[in-house]
A = this chain, B = another copy of it.
Amino acid sequence: MPYLCVPEIFLDANATTPVLPEIFEVMQNVCCSQYGNPSSSHLAGTKPKKILADTRTAAAELFNVNDGRFIFNSGATEGINTAVLSALAPYTGSEQTRKCLLYGATEHKAVPEALKHWNQVLGLKAQLLEIPTNQFGELDLEFIEKNLSKALMLCTMGANNETGVVQNLEEVNSLLNHSSKVPWLVDSVQVLGKVPLDLGKLAIDYATFSAHKLYGPKGTGCLFVRDSAPYTPLQQGGGQECGERGGTENMAGIAALGRIFQWLKAPGTSPFQDMNQLLAYRDQILSALRHLFPDLVLNQPYPGSLPTTLNFAVPGFDSSQLIAMFDAAGIRVSAGSACSKGRPQSFVLKAMGLPSWQCEGAIRLSFGPASSPEFIQQVTQRIEEMAKRRNATATPTNNELWVPDPFALGFAGFADNVNKTLYYAGDILQVEQYLQQRFSNSEWQLTKLEAGKHEFGDFFFKIADANHFTIGHNYTGNALAFTSGGVVITEKQCEDVEIISAEEVIRRNFVLIDVRERLEFTMQSLTDTEYSVIESERHDWCRLALSYTHDKATEAAITVCRSGGRSLKAAALIHAASRAKVYSCSDGATDIFQLLAEK
């Protein structure tokens, strides 16, 4: 029986895409056969030179423009930095405190970061001014109009990477004074292949493109520059790109870009689906998602946004929980821009004025325009299976020993399920968000433990003061000391854990300690394999660590999680409590399933 998580279903096309086989063939030719340097005078330079020229011609035709040039580069971020430098370099060293740099509040972070950077490097001190958007993510045109006269540069985007909101560039265009024009950059990364862009009609000065958002390789793209726009190279070298961008050209990437432009010019012959088909795909996926999450809320105008992008939130879940859940089911989705991970909230959704919980719980699901109907069917089937599994799972009861996050929070509790009382040590304010979910005020009584020793079944709590306590197990003798920041596990203790790869795991006879969360177990349970498995969520890790005894007669145990991070910590915790040697898997459960599926 196939495991749910295999094969991987990649639904993060707005972050990146695989290279299509037809495009990879083009790259192979350029890497291995026609590998000459286009700057060479000998014959091996001829074909690469022609690839450059042909790709440029295709771009000019595709975007309907003849008064500008396409400069090949390493991708949109380089393009953005080049455009910003070009617009700002003329003011180097002269303070521009009364001037502003205008950019949309929902721009990709690369835009404000580049503006901030060059504003500082060139010593301009211009004001960075964010153009607000309405709840639909549309730019405030009046704001632009009001501030345009003092702007050194205007930066907007064609379509938003997180929400798929398509900006009305013609309206922005109509605001510009075409005689004394503010340089206008349009981040066009997400429109490529999804929304037509007519550079002949719009007075855009700079437009940026990346190949890897449309089945090309990462690290390549191009920048359109209008002939009338100021230009300063970001890198000078051996005179490539007419002296406008030094460095040997990324030929494989440019050839791939050429293939993509050719396809876009002749839609009938390309693997790209038409708009209506893409809209229908998105409807199908959304409908399956509503079975999985009946209370799903969309974070985007629908259907009036990029047909390949869905952005939603689910009450009660934050992004990382949902990502982990989808990951366990073999579906890769993101919390927004791949480049802004780690940020607690989506700034894009925040700028649109969405409620906090939607910004914190946002999930972006995006597919490429070359998706086949079969692929979309796989997607919906997988989501329907997730819904089935979720519905079949009973609500878990509260474990008795409850330590929501032993590494971050100085808190441990013991739940008396009969008297509905949670006895606890440490700072309860730290765990408020966890409490809401498990021990609601209306049902549970919370009782703080006084200094001294308290016994609860096999466990005991020894309270020293508000910030120091120990929990332990009467029979194993295991114990863990807490400070206000939780259990202290040193780097050394983590380094001491022996790491084993997934390949090694499936060759040996480990007991697997799955240290992920309930949502993940539900979608992908290691109990479906031949191994002995212990499932232990984070709030249960301390109970496991305190009860753990190392019996030399039994098999060795190894912690497993999603990708080797949590498992390492859990193994160190078990060792700290019990002195027992527990291995940690450097890979994750998905790798184990993958290897088992290949066997």
Contact = CB atoms under 8 A, between A and B. Distances in A.
Contact of A40 (B108, B341, B562): B341
A217 interface: yes
A238 B77 contact: yes
A334 B40 contact: yes
Given A41-B334, A247-B75, A237 B35 contact: no
A301 interface: no
Total copies of this chain within the assembly: 2
A234 B251 CA distance: 22
Interface stretch (A116-124, A163-171, A540-548): A116-124
A250 interface: yes
A219 interface: yes
A420 to B, nearest CB: 37
A218 B18 contact: no
Given A43-B332, A248-B212, A31 B37 contact: no
A117 B43 CA distance: 31
Interface in A443-494: none
Contact of A237 (B27, B42, B77): B77
A39 interface: yes
A237 B161 CA distance: 14
Contact of A341 (B41, B210, B247, B588): B41
Contact of A114 (B35, B80, B237, B588): B237
A234 B235 CA distance: 8
A108 B238 contact: yes
A253 to B, nearest CB: 6
Interface residues of A, number: 89
B43 A19 contact: no
A333 interface: yes
Contacts of A251: 217-219
Given A92-B92, A339-B237, A339-B238, A252 B218 contact: yes
Given A39-B338, A39-B339, A43-B588, A31 B18 contact: yes
Contacts of A238: 77, 108-110, 113, 337-340
A323 B44 CA distance: 11
Interface stretch (A8-16, A280-288, A350-358): A8-16
A219 B218 contact: no
A358 to B, nearest CB: 18
Contacts of A117: 233, 236
A24 interface: yes
A68 interface: no
A11 B253 CA distance: 24
A451 B55 CA distance: 53
A239 interface: yes
A230 interface: no
A45 B248 contact: no
A109 B237 contact: yes
A235 B588 CA distance: 34
A37, A39, A233, A562 — which one has the most chain B CB atoms within 10 A of its CB? Answer: A37
A156 interface: no
Contact of A21 (B32, B36, B123, B326): B32
Contact of A250 (B17, B108, B220, B563): B220
A46 interface: yes
Given A39-B338, A40-B12, A247 B76 contact: yes
Nearest to A17: B35
A346 interface: no
A515 interface: no
A514 interface: no
A162 interface: no
A335 B94 CA distance: 44
A249 interface: yes
A24, A85, A94, A338 — which one has the most chain B CB atoms within 10 A of its CB? Answer: A338
Interface string A62-91: 000000000001111110110001000100
B41 A16 contact: no
A135 interface: no
A92 B78 contact: no
A84 to B, nearest CB: 9
Contacts of A43: 8, 327, 332, 562-563, 588, 590
A24 B19 contact: no
A320 interface: yes
Contacts of A246: 77, 81, 110, 113-114
Interface in A118-149: 121-123
18 contacts: A10-B44, A15-B37, A16-B37, A16-B40, A19-B31, A41-B335, A74-B219, A77-B237, A81-B237, A93-B93, A93-B122, A109-B238, A110-B246, A117-B236, A219-B220, A219-B247, A234-B235, A238-B338
Sorted nearest first, the 3 A-B pairs with minimum C-beta distance are A219-B250, A238-B339, A93-B93
Given A18-B32, A92-B92, A219-B248, 19 more contacts: A15-B39, A15-B40, A24-B31, A37-B218, A40-B341, A41-B341, A43-B563, A46-B588, A74-B74, A76-B247, A81-B234, A81-B236, A108-B238, A114-B236, A114-B246, A116-B236, A121-B232, A218-B248, A218-B252
Interface of A: 8, 10, 12, 15-19, 21, 24, 27-28, 31-33, 35-37, 39-46, 73-78, 80-81, 85, 89, 92-94, 108-110, 113-114, 116-117, 121-123, 210, 212, 217-220, 232-240, 246-253, 320, 323, 326-327, 332-335, 337-341, 562-563, 588, 590
